[in-house]
Structure 1
Amino acid sequence: MVNTGTPTNDPLPRGALNLNGFSFFNAVCFQITLGSTLVLYAKSLGASATWLGVLAGITPLLNLFQIPAAHWIPRFGYKRFVLAGWGARSVLIFLIAALPLLTALPDPARLWILTALIFGFSLLRGIAAGAWLPWITELIPETVRGRFLSRDQAFQHTGSLLALLLAGWMLGPAPGPVRFAAAFLLSACAAVASLTFLARSPDVETQEALRRSAQSVPWKAILRHPPFARLLIHNLLFVFAMGGLGVFTVAWQKAYAGFPEDRILLLSAAGFLAAMLALLPAGRAADRFGSKPLLRIGLGTFVAVAAGWFLLASRLVAPAAAMVAALNFLGGIAGALYQLGNTRLMLASMPPMGRNHFFALFTVLTSLALAATPVAWGAAIDALRTFHSQAAVDWNAYSLYFGAVTLLTLASLALTRILIEKGPIPTPSGPDTRFVAGLKRLWRLWQR
């Protein structure tokens, strides 16, 4: 049953704005260290599509360490656990910033060092991240989670947009070692700034909440919990479809469209601008109508985006910057709506007893899929790099990849029917009652 009533006007918890400040600066940090700037720097060192897939897969793979970390969280508390992990990983970003300046080293050696540093960064992040979602779930009441998550994601997308604009300006059309070093240094400074907001954020004071959340639950019992199991199946299919899209759209723009680095980053910024606009009404809509409508709208838009990349890669549409910007804009809307709906549904699907272990297992399994997916797609693209069949459609490695992503995303949209969403149904009131009732009728029609 879906929550389809009017949203509550309850205030957000005290100190929630500090969590949003952390999200803003953390987004500036990871958008550079793990995003397009990393891909472009690795490409400048001669990284293949498979290697790019490995770099994209390291971070989700090391979320595996959330399972052993779940046992240690109660000993330190949520806040101290996250603060220690995020603080340690920030040191490694300064080392990444120094790497481009080591020009005496050959490119293959720097590529290996870069991969090792990303591994260490992701390991520390993976351990600390095990406390993040349980912490948020305890702090933010369910009645205002849609509002909080939409605001938090708006802060994240604003930070990502700023990071792309600044990184694009720093790199320019033909970046050298100093420019890459400056971009990574900006990421390191943002990481330090995020720690100040994290230190000011409220912690969960009650030991009972920590004890209940850390209660050990058999893995088989977790996997048999219906809301958890169905959401996990859906997420695994979505990850397999979309897990490498951000990496390989950048690689295609560089290798096939011939766009310079600064243009690629500036075009990517359109996605974060769109996400910020989409999140303005999305939070209250999620609290009123539930998470599944947002998931479906987001996935439907993702299908259109993947189809657009297929048209570009198959040369049915010329690779114009305006087309890429439009796809990034639509992708930003899709990602914002899907992430908000999926996160909100995930928080509601985890029972209080053993919550740390539910979150850890969910994150680990989806992260393993997210780690394997870009590596598998990258290996497939490398294996097909010489394949070319010109007919009505130009079949090549990238057109085959984007075509497969389109079909898999369509299947993920169809699979939303299995998801379970529970919640109260407040009675709508006020001047928008008829509007709400109309949307309810459309929602019931969609469910048929």
Structure 2
Amino acid sequence: MDQRRRSIVGAYVNGGLWGVASGLVSTTLVIFLAKEYGATGLAISWLLAAPSLAGLLRLLTPFWLEQVGSRRKFCIRMFLASALVLLVLPIVSAPQVLSSSSLSVTVLVAMWAGYHVLEYMGAVALWSWFGDLVPRVVRGRFIGRRQAWTNAGKVTGTVAAAVGTYLWANHCEAIERPNWAWISYATCGLGGAAMIVLSTWPLVGMTDLPLHPSGQPRASLRSQLLSPLTDQKFCRLLWFGLWFSFSNGLMQSARWMFQVSVLQMTFVEKKVLDAGSRGVQSLLMPSVGDWVDRRGNVSVLAFSQGIIALAPLFFLIATPETRWWIVGAYVCWLAYAGENVAQPNLMLGLSPPDQTAAYASAWFAWTQLAYSLSVLLGGVLFDWMAKHFAPISIGSLRVDHFAVLFLASWLLKSIGVFWAARIHE
């Protein structure tokens, strides 16, 4: 096996191990942990948004990467540092460690953001590394397979977290210690930290390519920050990414609160559905990668967006008596397999040589900022509508604040098809 092939296999293994960590330490788990401390809808919005707001720091990744001089060293250092923060997070946010539950939630939000910032910076360097490592003609295939490995890892971690927390919750109920439920969430966090450390091992054997393969001198920090924003082709992709992120984030609080408060879904039920969806996506992604290499990314992106847009309609018709309708949304979300292959492939494909880190940092930073701001706006909007919106009866149909928000979500996501179709490869 030649060195490039070994590096590609190492990238797959890294994705799988990182996926296990992500499944163990998901946003779902942290939200359930926060709810143990009495977190409100706005607090949950901050949990969802804080990592993306702090993630603007990744715009400086190209500068810091130059100081280190090696993408391999930079990635390993960032991922190990993120594991350390994750290791400490459940300890300092445990009940009675701090003076109040509100302070525990605040610390949880801050450390959750810090963990993600370090991980984000490592991910920018990693995607830049992949852009130079894998030839363009087979990059879709590579991304599809690595994303499949990552999703398979997430399914494994998700199932482990669901089973572990379920068994522990039953144990706590049996011994009449319901206030110990947080321990299982914290244990998942510790396991996730260990898996992140393990995921750095395959990176050690990967080829550490030069930061500037063409031999050109590095651009100034100002140029690296502005170049992606003045590149017309890349900006078309970026506009789609901004709309995609905004429409996804705006309804996060409503979706979470609807599943937990209205449908009364348990953590285990939510994780099982997540695992099933990700598992099927893992099976689809390799074929999607082959398809985009042969036929292009834009058609896959537009089609996937149209299917995803239908998901809010299943939330609209689901009730506590007919909770099974929610499965329809998870079926629509299988189309994220197309998004998760085509988006990064377009990002790398539209990035000039020697500037993949700058373009990757811009893509992830600005799209995640749009997501975080829309999550916060959605949290404020949800809390306001829950308090002030009076349900409307149209015949036998009752339109409450959830219904209005889910209809708006369907419309916003549908408009995303237009933005996807405008991208030029």
1:323 to 2:325 alignment: yes
Query: TM-score if structure 2 supplies the norm length?
Result: 0.88
Matching residue of 2:307: 301
CA–CA separation in structure 1 for the residues paired with 2:140 and 2:166:
38
Mapped to 1, the partners of 2:339 and 2:25 lie a distance apart of: 23
Shift of 1:79: 1.1
Counterpart secondary structure, 1:391: strand
1:258-297 alignment, distance < 5 Å: 258-297=264-303
Look up the match of 1:93: 86
Write out per-residue CA displacement over residues 210-238 of structure 1, whole angstroms, 9 at most, x where no aligned residue.
86484233655532322111111111111
Secondary structure (helix, strand or coil) at the match of 1:351 reads: coil
Structure 2 residue aligned with 1:154, among 123, 148, 155? 148
Match among 126, 131, 138 for residue 132 of structure 1:
126
Q: Deviations over 1:233-288 (max 9, x none)?
A: 11111111112556643332111111222112112222112211221421111111
Q: Over residues 88-112 of structure 1, what are the superposed CA-to-partner deviations in whole Å (9 max), with x where a residue is unaligned?
A: 1101111123246544544222212
Question: What does 1:34-433 correspond to in 2, within 5 Å?
Answer: 34-76=26-68, 77-99=70-92, 101-103=94-96, 105=98, 106-172=100-166, 174=169, 176-204=181-209, 206=210, 208-209=212-213, 212=216, 214-216=218-220, 217=223, 221-243=227-249, 248-312=254-318, 315=319, 318-320=321-323, 322-331=324-333, 333-386=334-387, 387-392=389-394, 393-421=397-425
Distance 1:402 1:214, change over 3 A: farther
Is the CA contact (8 Å cut-off) linking 2:17 and 2:195 kept in structure 1? yes
Q: Which residue of 2 aligns with 1:440?
A: none
SS at match of 2:386: coil
Inter-CA distance 355–150: structure 2 relative to 1 (3 Å threshold): closer
**Any conservation in 1 of the 2:251–2:378 contact (CA below 8 Å)?**
no
> Structure 1 CA distance, aligned partners of 2:322 and 2:77?
45
Quick check: 2:65–2:74 contact (8 Å CA) kept in 1? yes
TM-score normalized by the length of structure 1: 0.84
Structure 2 unaligned blocks of 5 or more: 170-177
276-285 or 352-361, larger mean C-alpha shift: 352-361
Alpha-carbon shift at residue 63 of structure 1 (Å): 2.4
SS at match of 2:265: coil
| Structure 1 stretches lacking a partner, 5+ long | 1-10, 422-448
Alignment-mate amino acid for residue 359 of structure 1: A
- Cα pair distance change 1:221/1:78, threshold 3 Å: closer
Aligned residues: 406
70 and 192 in structure 1: CA distance in 2 versus 1, 3 angstrom threshold: same
Is the partner of 1:384 in helix, strand or coil? helix
Change (3 A) 1:247 1:202: farther
Greater shift after overlay, 146-155 or 70-79?
70-79
